[in-house]
Chains A and B, each alone.
Chain A
């Protein structure tokens, strides 16, 4: 099917990329990277954000052309003109962001990627393939009814139906619950058992240690190591990725007996978006000095909860109380005046305006504070001073003194945003996905900042999909699923499994719910 005309043999690599380089302006995204993938292996591509993983796989999938370097595919040189040619040679890829049409059914979405064929016959094949690989899917369901995990299964099935020799998965577990993750691993083992290869991109070290027997580690655009992850420890892998030891977050047991800072009582909100999640009777409280974590898979009401707590969306006055004051009907500026700080999940476009400079971005959430605006006129030098203080205290690295927000890397931008909103020593901090897409060093720093805040007596609420993070930080953990919140139980009374179960049970309920 490849037309390349060479035979597979046991020791010939399936794919051997050598000295791949790609430059974007002043940034050398890939610097002479070598990568060898053998038939029938699950190969991990490890690296922090910005290490060059995405650039490399986009080159392998034909999305971008390398500046130099060569790819050998089953023993013959391969030059890709685009993804279609990559697919033609048997290279398939599942992206982090799915390309599915919400209003079409599973089988219709699959059909779009394949040569024309009657839908009934295709449904049959989709069903067979999904059963064979343990990818439970109903061909006739519309995509918008499905969970994120099920959507990912469509993407994988779609790839498998093209009979690939190499399947590339970009951070596939970042959106999955623990139960779904182990399901995905079983599928990948089945794929490997057929002699197909998988290139598995991740920065979750434990997963890679369980799943992969070979790995390539990238750092700052260079290949720094090849190894067998099952023979490494998570700490040694992390050292390879980061190049230094990562400091553990110093957590002291918090005192959870402070005064109630945030009280949420029977918060209900119907989502205006037909595909959104409505909040139903959400009640919890956060006391001074403690960190409460809210776990859950994305799309279970996290965005809705955050905007109801921040005041971007209003609710009944008593539904949200800060320091005993009913603020449900008040806006975000008033809530900040009560001593609350908010850090949203989306950094560019929500927490910061991409095209505005950092000093202007200070103003986005701080214009209500004294000293920045006098009689409606901006004090730009005060803003620049504030920025300098944030940059120093939170180690925000950037080329210029006052660059636009979009010029910063994810980790540095997040340090800026967190710094901006907690500089004023808030008494209540509500943060969503504090370390999403942030490199390990910055993540540890950010988590430590939150812990320090709690120790100084602030109440901290962390909404996160990252269970490791929640177990590291939280005194109490609750699970948000389908817009309902479980009781927040002390960390010691919970395990990853018990929480995963709460997340997973909700998923099964969804899957079997009667069609609305």
Chain B
């Protein structure tokens, strides 16, 4: 007996909506099962996880704060994945963007120069992320090194560099030996847009990026090239598109958006450099990208859903004394089900019997 996957002849629009929806439902069902296994009433737990973050204004605002970096990063990952470039190092590109942008803040002390400083930081963040993203891209295009390995391993390099900086050269001399940089001056901060100060302009930058990416993918020759290289690499070469240059382009774009997310986090909600500046946004964004079907508008919705699990996880820590790792379990379940549903909706599983009794 053998299992084979056959492509379904007709997989219409409904399939592209059914798959993520089904994946979310299955994640909730299995999440509930998980809770009941460890002795927590499943309905109450799910309420804490998925409904309480929507219950008040503060939580909604927090949702935008968490969703913005996830969506920004996932928007960059979509062109990578569409063109078969497996960048899974967005977390490292985020860190390097934050480091590059912070260098500006620390060098200028964030005051006495003018409000252009924060723009300079954003630009440095974009460049830093893009440059870091180009490392695995160059290794792949020039030497054929697997970008999956290099991009992932460079995450740890970036993390350690950040750790070294905040404990070493960039440690706040007046910071009681805590491993943080100086707090950025107001010229180096993104202004708060609400009374609580949590909603920041990064959210609108993210919306702008959604619109730009959607336009690029659907309406421009570059977007066509990205989709063509992923769909039929040989046809892309026949068309005269250079897949190596495209690898550099999508990694640079992805690194730039991850770097932007990184510097927005530091210049926005956090306010200085710390050993840890992201709860794994770069990795969770991979789930956002796939749950959003590598489509910018899908990613916008998926980003909010995944942001929910971050806030729900924090709430669950407080209300249910659940470890934060449960959030990771949720996110892992979700990715698992998205990929499984995609496969089973696009393909038919067929049992072929080989080896009848002789």
Contact = CB atoms under 8 A, between A and B. Distances in A.
Interface in A350-365: 350-356, 360, 363-365
B237 interface: yes
B224 A378 contact: yes
A342 B238 contact: yes
A363 B240 contact: no
Nearest to B2: A82
A88 B356 contact: yes
A332 interface: yes
Contacts of A350: 232, 234-235, 238
A337 to B, nearest CB: 10
A78 interface: no
B68 to A, nearest CB: 28
Interface in A327-368: 331-333, 336, 342, 344, 346, 349-356, 360, 363-365, 367-368
A367 B221 contact: yes
A83 interface: yes
B177 interface: no
Contacts of B356: 81-82, 84-85, 88
A310 interface: yes
A462 B210 CA distance: 47
B235 A349 contact: yes
Interface stretch (B56-64, B254-262, B296-304, B347-355): B347-355
A88 B235 CA distance: 43
Q: Which of B9, B219, B220, B356 has the most CB of A within 10 A?
A: B356
Contacts of B244: none
A377 interface: yes
B55 interface: no
A312 B242 CA distance: 10
A242 B221 CA distance: 42
Nearest to B218: A378
B13 interface: no
B221 A376 contact: yes
Interface in A294-351: 310-312, 331-333, 336, 342, 344, 346, 349-351
B194 interface: no
Size bracket, chain A contacts:
35 or more
B219 A364 contact: no
A93 to B, nearest CB: 14
Contacts of B354: 82-84
B196 interface: no
Contacts of A363: 221, 224, 239
A364 B240 CA distance: 8
A116 interface: no
B235 A353 contact: yes
Contacts of A240: none
A118 interface: no
Interface in B195-235: 219-222, 224, 227-228, 231-232, 234-235
Given A82-B353, A82-B354, A84-B356, A378 B219 contact: yes
A350 B240 CA distance: 12
Nearest to B237: A312
A378 B217 CA distance: 11
B228 A378 contact: no
A25 interface: yes
A65 to B, nearest CB: 11
Contact of A354 (B221, B232, B239): B232
B232 A353 contact: yes
Contacts of A346: 234
Contacts, number: 86
Interface in A20-35: 24-25
Contacts of A336: 240
A355 B219 CA distance: 17
Q: Which of B219, B239, B355 has the most CB of A within 10 A?
A: B239
Nearest to A366: B239
A29 to B, nearest CB: 13
A364 B338 CA distance: 31
Contact of A351 (B10, B224, B235, B353): B235
A368 B355 CA distance: 54
A333 B220 CA distance: 18
Contact of A356 (B222, B228, B358): B228
A72 interface: no
Contacts of B219: 377-378
Q: Which of A350, A352, A373 has the most CB of B within 10 A?
A: A350
Contact of A81 (B232, B234, B353): B353
Contact of A310 (B10, B220, B238): B238
Contacts of A378: 219-221, 224
A352 B235 contact: yes
Contacts of B231: 353-356
Contacts of B237: 312, 332
Contact of A360 (B9, B224, B355): B224
Q: Which of B222, B232, B236 has the most CB of A within 10 A?
A: B232
Nearest to A363: B224
A332 B237 CA distance: 8
A342 B237 CA distance: 12
B243 to A, nearest CB: 11
A333 B240 contact: yes
Interface in A22-51: 24-25
Nearest to A85: B356
Contacts of A373: 221
A24 B354 CA distance: 22
Nearest to A81: B356
A312 B352 CA distance: 40
Nearest to B238: A350
Contacts of B240: 311, 331-333, 336, 365, 367-368
Contacts of A331: 240, 242
A456 B224 CA distance: 34
Nearest to B215: A377
B158 to A, nearest CB: 32
B238 A25 contact: no
A158 to B, nearest CB: 17
Contacts of B358: 84, 88
B220 A377 contact: yes
A332 B222 contact: no
Contacts of B228: 353, 356, 364
A378 B239 CA distance: 15
Interface in B315-356: 352-356
Nearest to A407: B9
Given A354-B232, A373-B221, A376-B220, A364 B353 contact: no
A321 B339 CA distance: 49
Nearest to A64: B352
A25 B10 contact: yes
Interface in B284-324: none
A344 B235 CA distance: 10
Given A336-B240, A363-B224, A378-B219, 20 more contacts: A81-B353, A81-B356, A82-B353, A84-B355, A84-B356, A85-B356, A88-B358, A310-B238, A332-B237, A344-B238, A349-B232, A350-B234, A351-B235, A355-B232, A356-B227, A364-B236, A365-B239, A367-B221, A376-B221, A377-B221
- In the A-B complex, list the 7 residue pairs whose CB atoms are closest, starting with the nearest: A333-B240, A353-B232, A85-B356, A364-B239, A332-B240, A353-B235, A350-B234
Interface of A: 24-25, 81-85, 88, 310-312, 331-333, 336, 342, 344, 346, 349-356, 360, 363-365, 367-368, 373, 376-378
7 contacts: A82-B356, A84-B354, A88-B356, A331-B242, A352-B235, A355-B231, A378-B224
